[in-house]
Amino acid sequence: MSVGRGTLDAVTTPDVRGLQQLEAAVLDDTASLASALRLCLMMGGYAHHQELRSWALKELDGYEAGDELPPYRQVPAALEVATELYALGGFRSGTQRISPNQLPQQARDRGIRETAPIRAGVAELEALIARTDAVVNLSPPGSAEYALLMNEEQRQLGNDAEIMSVHWQVSVPSIEGVLDRIRTRLTQFVAEVRAAMPPGQQNPDPRQIDTAAQQALHISGGDNSTINVVAPNATADRGGTASANVNEPAPAPPQPWWHRSSVIWTAVAALATIAGVVVTVVVAK
């Protein structure tokens, strides 16, 4: 993708403050990533760099449903259903992993696969992973509708298990990986700014900030310039699976997962809410 560049010649700011503080923040693994992004946001303001400010603000506040996510915010995730089964005079709760091809056609048409979008801001993500060392469940858009459709099909088959939810199971290390990639990009940004500064220069100028943003974050342009954003490439976490092509034809659906001989029950723990998405924290036993 081509990168359209505007001119920063009209910018009169002689230098950009905050590089030393940002460098200290990104190199301190114990420091909050949210604090480092706020420093980056201020640097974007001093440099009159609209896209740098926009990127930092989205990472802080989170991405809206209509926003295009960077690849590093899409992580491998297992699809599961939470169920309740009336048996032996009481209800038994459990979860079962399913294939994307076992979802209703509406879900497959919307591209629900074994890849979960991580849209929350970094402060929310940092708080979430501080609460658990296991897994987090995220509900895809339309999950309540999918559960209703699957329950209807189940009743037609004469089964008595009730599907309570459809969700992605995301490992906490995958979320930690999202935060680490953001910190690494900030570190690369600082390194590129340092590389652009000649010996003896204390603070970068706006053009050096723009060059560093292109190299590290794949964004360019000061205020009033033409903007193109090039998202960096991403790789799947170790042992994970991912699918990005939502247009490929689906294979023939397998037998319904709720056939009684195939159900494997596991324990389910507490619920939490984050960024308008239903989140379940499942604690390892």
Q: Where in the chain are the domains?
A: 19-69+176-217, 71-175+267-282
* Residue 130 · residue 89 · CB < 8 Å: no
pLDDT of residue 6: 42
Tell me phi and psi for residue 96, to 5 degrees. Answer: -145, 130
pLDDT of residue 88: 64
Structure token pair of residue 48: 């009159």
pLDDT of residue 16: 86
- The stretches in the chain having pLDDT less than 50 are 1-13, 223-285
Q: Which amino acid is at 277?
A: V
pLDDT of residue 133: 75
pTM over 0.75: no
Task: State how far the Cα of 63 lies from the Cα of 57, in Å rounded to an integer.
Answer: 9
pLDDT of residue 257: 41
DSSP reduced 3-state for 179: helix
* Residue 199 · residue 27 · CB < 8 Å: no
* Residue 217 · residue 41 · CB < 8 Å: no
Biggest CA–CA distance in the chain, Å, is 79
